[in-house]
Amino acid sequence: MEFKIGLIRGDGIGPEIVGEAKKVLDTVCSKYGHAFTYTELLLGGASIDATGYPLTDETVEEAKTCDAVLMGSIGGDAKTSPWYQLPPSRRPEAGLLAIRKALNLFANLRPAYLYKELRDACPLKDEIIGEDGFNLIIVRELTGGLYFGARETKEVDGVMTAVDTLTYNENEIRRIAKRAFDIAMKRNRKVTSVDKANVLDSSRLWRKIAAEVAEEYPEVTLEHMLVDNCAMQLVRDPKQFDVVLTENMFGDILSDEASMVAGSIGMLSSASLNETKFGLYEPSHGSAPDIAGKNIANPIATILSAAMMLRYSLDMDREADAVEAAVQQVLSEGYRTADIWSEGMTKVSTSEMGSLIAERV
């Protein structure tokens, strides 16, 4: 099959890790008979250097012509990079928020998967992790809720007072809930919808709509969980979760908790999707300017993001499985980049890790 992929190489380690993910995708194409064409897109610091702005209309328009976009990370060292002398709206990170908005990326997917080979990096006790570790995904609503509601700080009766508004309408809840159920259909068919329905009206509507959507997916089990309980359950028994569906702020906090529980930052992928199959795929980590250009960064988070792209934007489950299995195999053979290296393992560079994974696809 033919697809057009946008590549945002980005800043810092971005070009190195995207190069390795492309190596793996090229192997997928030749093994499975697909043809991907790539178009290079500028974002963040690289875009500032070329155009003066972190995101241009040209990048947005070109991204819209793609089936999916794969991105490294953007940004630099805030203390030393000239990008951070610019006003906030012209800095690298402003470009990332703007492209998410311009492409209407309302669904953020953050898997947290514990490789048994890396269980030493997991801060949880062995008896909690169990034999097989855990494998969950957080589906977070990304364009509504508290972060986008009306806000104000003013003096009321001589007292400084601040208000933030948490608003969701049923359409916003329904579309993210459907996304979560669709994803559950590709996984273990369980959705845990997380809210604070004992206190918040927006959560009571969330719960009602999630239950309505569940009726369209009889094969999927839905459970509701209060957010405070979910925060506890993620460290008490993460194995119970498959798909965790939640609103913007709860998802922001829970996805960071889940990634910490899963261990190394160099392993964690993410995706942001819109109403169509289109998505922006990127590692959860930043541009790591401290190790840029040294060929030591871990490319696995970006390679696993490319696997998510195959699965969710291109409907290539078999190919995504092959990439994930190749990552697992390389780890079980004892190859590690510096960030996940431990005694007795074979230390490899960024490019060696990419090649080892590509060879095993």
**Catalytic center residues:** 147, 196, 228, 252, 256
Q: Which of 24, 245, 268, 288 binds ligand NAD (CB under 6 A)?
A: 288
Q: Which residues of 51-83 are buried (b: 16+ CB within 10 A; e: fewer)?
A: eebbbbeebbebbeebbbbbbbbbbbeeeebeb
How many residues bind ligand NAD (CB under 6 A)? The answer is 21
Runs of H (alpha helix) within 164-314: 170-185, 201-214, 227-236, 248-262, 300-312
The answer to whether 83 touches 295, Cβ cutoff 8 Å, is no
Q: How far is the CB of 52 from ligand NAD (least distance, A)?
A: 18
Q: How far is the CB of 315 from ligand NAD (least distance, A)?
A: 25
Q: Does 266 bind ligand NAD (CB under 6 A)?
A: yes
Q: How far is the CB of 286 from ligand NAD (least distance, A)?
A: 2
- Identify which of residues 70 and 210 has a Cβ nearer to ligand NAD in the complex: 70
- Identify which of residues 81 and 203 has a Cβ nearer to ligand NAD in the complex: 81
Q: Does 352 bind ligand NAD (CB under 6 A)?
A: no
Stretch that binds ligand NAD, among 177-185, 199-207, 229-237, 289-297 (CB under 6 A): 289-297
Q: How far is the CB of 72 from ligand NAD (least distance, A)?
A: 8
Q: How far is the CB of 299 from ligand NAD (least distance, A)?
A: 7
Q: Does 76 bind ligand NAD (CB under 6 A)?
A: yes
Helix (H) or strand (E) holding 265: none
* Binders in 2-21 for ligand NAD, by CB under 6 A: 13
Q: Which amino acid is at 325?
A: A
Q: Does 238 bind ligand NAD (CB under 6 A)?
A: no
d(CA 253, CA 100): 19
The answer to whether 280 touches 271, Cβ cutoff 8 Å, is yes
Q: Does 298 bind ligand NAD (CB under 6 A)?
A: yes
Q: Does 166 bind ligand NAD (CB under 6 A)?
A: no
Give the CA-trace dihedral at 167, 169, 170, 171, to 10 degrees.
-130
Stretch that binds ligand NAD, among 20-28, 70-78, 183-191, 227-235 (CB under 6 A): 70-78
For the chain, the distance separating the N- and C-terminal CA atoms, rounded to the nearest angstrom, is 18
Q: What are the tokens at 75?
A: 């940004």
Q: Which of 48, 96, 258, 280 binds ligand NAD (CB under 6 A)?
A: 96
What 121-128 contacts at long range (C-beta under 8 Å, 24+ apart), as own/partner pairs, is: 121/263, 121/264, 121/340, 122/261, 122/262, 122/263, 123/260, 123/261, 123/263, 124/235, 124/238, 124/261, 128/235, 128/236, 128/237, 128/238
Stretch that binds ligand NAD, among 186-194, 204-212, 281-289, 328-336 (CB under 6 A): 281-289
How many CA atoms are closer than 13 Å to the CA of 166, on its beta-carbon side? 16
Q: Does 357 bind ligand NAD (CB under 6 A)?
A: no
Q: Which of 66, 297, 303, 331 binds ligand NAD (CB under 6 A)?
A: 297
Which residues of this protein are in contact with ligand NAD, per CB under 6 A?
13, 73-76, 93, 96, 265-266, 282, 285-291, 297-298, 301, 339
